[in-house]
Each structure stands twice: as C-alpha cells, then as structure tokens.
Amino acid sequence: MAKLEFILGRAGTGKTESCLRAMCDEMEREPLGNLLLLVVPEHMTYQVERALVSRMRGRGMMRGFVSGFRRLAWRGWGNKQPALRKWGRLGGLSGRSGRIYLAVFWQHYGG
C-alpha cells in the first residue's frame, strides 16, 4: 500500500535526518520492498543522495531514491517528452493540475 508523508518544519530541525533514518531502517528491514522516494529541493538532491548512500555503509540499496520535483515529473512522464516540450517545459504543472498529476503518479508508481 502506498503511503505519502509530508514532513514540515523550520530549517535545522532534523527533517532530512529523520527521513534518511526512516528510509535506511526500512531498507534494512525489507531490502526488496516497495519504492522509497524522498523528494527534496533540486539543489539538495546530490547532497541527500550522498548522505543516503553513506548511511547504508556499502550494503547497497535497491529501493531508495532521492529526487527533485523536476526529475520526478520527467520520470512520471516517461516517453512523453515531446508532449512536455510542446506544453512548455512543465509550465502547465501548477496549482490544481500539479496536484492531480502527483496523485495519478503516486497511484501508478507508489505501489
């Protein structure tokens, strides 16, 4: 069953740390389970991916992914890239349409 959690709070309160800890615990408990996706701001993806890999200490990870919103959208659209270019570089994904798209994406890929 798919589960979506929003972790909100001020900077420096341990949101990312909490998410990474939960992801690592879940991957250790069930290495081949459903996808675990952590969505972070685009400029943080590399740093958070490195932190996730270093926490796994060489054990590998088959189900943990870190993504920004743009990469998540491209992954969801798959081979529909020409349609995206025509649509205006994801410009149409805002407000209600963005929420609908994320709901459909989550139903399809969430497990």
Q: Report domain extents, the chain.
A: 15-109
Residue 65 pairs in a beta bridge with 37
Fold of 15-109: Rossmann fold (3.40.50)
Nearest 10 degrees: CA dihedral of 111, 93, 77, 38? -40
Provide the pLDDT for residue 18. 92
Residue 97's nearest CA partner among 108, 85, 105, 109 is 105
Answer whether residue 98 shows pLDDT above 90.
no
Answer whether residue 2 shows pLDDT above 90.
no
By the 8 A CB rule, do 1 and 111 touch? yes
Provide the pLDDT for residue 79. 52
Provide the pLDDT for residue 86. 46
- Give the whole-angstrom CA distance, residue 108 versus residue 47: 28
- Average confidence (pLDDT) over 66-70: 85
18-48 tens-digit pLDDT: 999 999 998 888 888 888 889 888 899 999 9
- Average confidence (pLDDT) over 5-12: 87
Residue 38's nearest CA partner among 93, 29, 50, 30 is 50
Provide the pLDDT for residue 71. 81
